[in-house]
A and B are shown apart, each in its own frame.
Chain A
Amino acid sequence: MKLRSWFLLPTWLWMLVFFAAPFVIVLAYSLLTRGVYGGVEQPWTVEAYQRLIDPLYLTILFRSFAMALAATAICLVMAFPVALFISRSHSRKNFYLQLVMLPFWTSFLVRTYAWLFLLRDTGLVNTVLMNLGVIHAPLSLLYNDGTVLLGLVYGYLPFMVLPIYATLERLDPALVEAAADLGARPLATVFRVILPLSRPGLVAGSVLVFIPCLGAYLTPDLLGGGRTVLVGNLVQNQFTNARDWPFGSAVSMLLMVLVVVLVWGLLRRESEQLA
């Protein structure tokens, strides 16, 4: 039926022009030289990539990786029990799902700002603690790695809950009953039967959280002040203030390679497991 192939054409074109071509251009830019007035110019060089090897930048990369890993791990631990809870609530599943999804539907910016509001020196947390007499001067709760981590976890938690829930829903309830029948107590059933079987959901959720966290820009910028510099901030900086487009492009390419390798590796492992 030829109709179907015509239908793919517009999307092909759009993705070619506005997704594929930009990457080619960024790749090219990463191999050029920084222009005098910003932008890029000849000659072609790999200097941008050589500058990447500097320990300063490698530290930034490493810290971004660690931050994303921490955020993903925390989200996993926090999301799993909730997903379990929802899958076991018989009549109100949709209600709880909507409750989880509602923050996601509202603005990510707003949700990140909420923590700015709560944790700043004149924010709610400090005000309450001072009123209770627990502290006498406001705590500096903002502008550190911990707050950024909190912001990332808070922002991406719904992305972890949904895939896990989806997998738990498809779980055959007979398996849980069989485990109980064979003598497993509830906690053991969770760890030995449910958790292993919900692997696809855990992996999917982890991918959906880890990768945006790796390239996070908004959260570290807003909640970290200028102090927490992650890869996302680095890239943005190169394209605005520092006006070093080749270097920014090189960092972007590195980030993309990491992302592609991660996703591809995980997907292959999952499909191998299924086979």
Chain B
Amino acid sequence: MKRWLTAYAVAFFAFLHLPLLTLAFFSFNSSRFTQWEHFSLDWYRAIFRDPQLIDATWNSVIVALISTVISTALGTMCAYGLWKYTSRLLTGTLYLSLVTPEIVTGISLLALFQWMFRWLHWHLGLYTVVLAHVAFSIAYVVIVISARLRTLNPSLEEAAMDLGANEWQAFFYVMLPALAPGIIAAALLALTVSFDDYVITSMVAGVDSETLPMVIYAMARRGASPVINAISALITFCFGVLILISEQVREA
């Protein structure tokens, strides 16, 4: 049976990866059609010449970084608090935020902002995107950190206090360092989830605050373009590298 399983696994991984690989492959094709002409970096150059793309990428990076910092901090504190102080309501709410379809989260946040803007006279912008991203990222961070917490010796904090550390010192000198690999993993997860988000972002972004997924989406709807291939390849490559680095950090 092992042979059948292995054959199936090979087919499975091929199915999973070939579409992306072909995408990347043809990003180097000088022709915009799927007949191979010759190797070219034209489409990559086109990315850097497109101000809309550059702006959108910059927006995506800023939003991802800020929302990651906030959601990782909040999520770590929350996971630590839930560790022995269970709140079924909070845990349930966090899980609900994970399973809620993105479109529902998107429109509900839009409704919230529009309602608030009646009194505040503000507008949608990049900041509303950040607020939305933190809201749906916290749950991911809590899950990762909670999993890590469960691998830790439950007596660590008591040991620290036994040796003279008060509650805050126990958290900063023992729990946080012990959680560090988990925090890095959670931050990375929040980063990718934020950078990649389209549905929610499209509902709550302001007119001048387009993110990269929004631009890609608009281009894709107009019809496929090799520029999208190039961007896709770049995104995949960057995140692949990021993941590998984080795995190395975690192993250490």
Interface residues of chain B, those whose CB is within 8 Å of chain A, are 1-2, 5-6, 8-9, 12-13, 15-17, 19-20, 22-23, 26, 33-35, 74-75, 77-78, 80-85, 87, 90, 93-97, 99-112, 114-115, 131-132, 134-135, 138, 142, 167-168, 171, 192, 195-196, 198-199, 203, 213, 216-217, 220-221, 224, 228-229, 232, 235-236, 239-240, 243, 247
- B36 and chain A: residue at smallest CB distance: A127
Known contacts A116-B220, A124-B22, A239-B107; A99/B13 CB under 8 A: yes
Q: How far is the CA of A109 from the CA of B212 in the complex (A)?
A: 11
Contacts of B142 in A (CB 8 A): 11
User: Is there a chain B Cβ closer than 8 Å to A245's Cβ?
Assistant: yes
Q: How far is the CA of A248 from the CA of B110 in the complex (A)?
A: 12
B224→A15 contact, CB < 8 A: no
A259→B235 contact, CB < 8 A: no
Contacts of A212 in B (CB 8 A): 101-102
- B220 and chain A: residue at smallest CB distance: A113
Known contacts A15-B135, A236-B107; A4/B80 CB under 8 A: yes
**A44-52, A53-61, A167-175, A215-223 - the one binding chain B:** A215-223
Number of A-B residue pairs with CB-CB distance less than 8 Å in the complex they form: 239
Given contacts A8-B82, A217-B103, 7 further A-B contacts (CB under 8 A): A3-B168, A105-B192, A106-B236, A114-B23, A122-B34, A248-B107, A249-B111
B90→A255 contact, CB < 8 A: no
User: Is there a chain B Cβ closer than 8 Å to A66's Cβ?
Assistant: no
Task: Return the contact of B108 from the options A25, A154, A211 (Cβ within 8 A).
Answer: A25
Q: How far is the CA of A114 from the CA of B232 in the complex (A)?
A: 9
- CB-defined A-B contacts under 8 Å, sample of 10: A4-B83, A20-B93, A85-B6, A106-B239, A107-B195, A187-B1, A211-B99, A215-B101, A232-B101, A235-B103
Contacts of A88 in B (CB 8 A): 2, 5
Contacts of A19 in B (CB 8 A): 93, 96-97, 105, 135
**Per-residue 0/1 for A86-127: is the Cβ within 8 Å of any B Cβ (1 yes, 0 no)?**
101000000010111011011111110111111010111001
B216→A109 contact, CB < 8 A: yes
**Per-residue 0/1 for A1-45: is the Cβ within 8 Å of any B Cβ (1 yes, 0 no)?**
111111110111011011111110110010000000001000000
User: Is there a chain B Cβ closer than 8 Å to A82's Cβ?
Assistant: yes
A23→B93 contact, CB < 8 A: no
Q: How far is the CA of A128 from the CA of B194 in the complex (A)?
A: 36
Near B by CB (< 8 A), chain A positions 168-225 give 186-187, 190, 207, 211-212, 214-218, 221-222
A109→B196 contact, CB < 8 A: yes
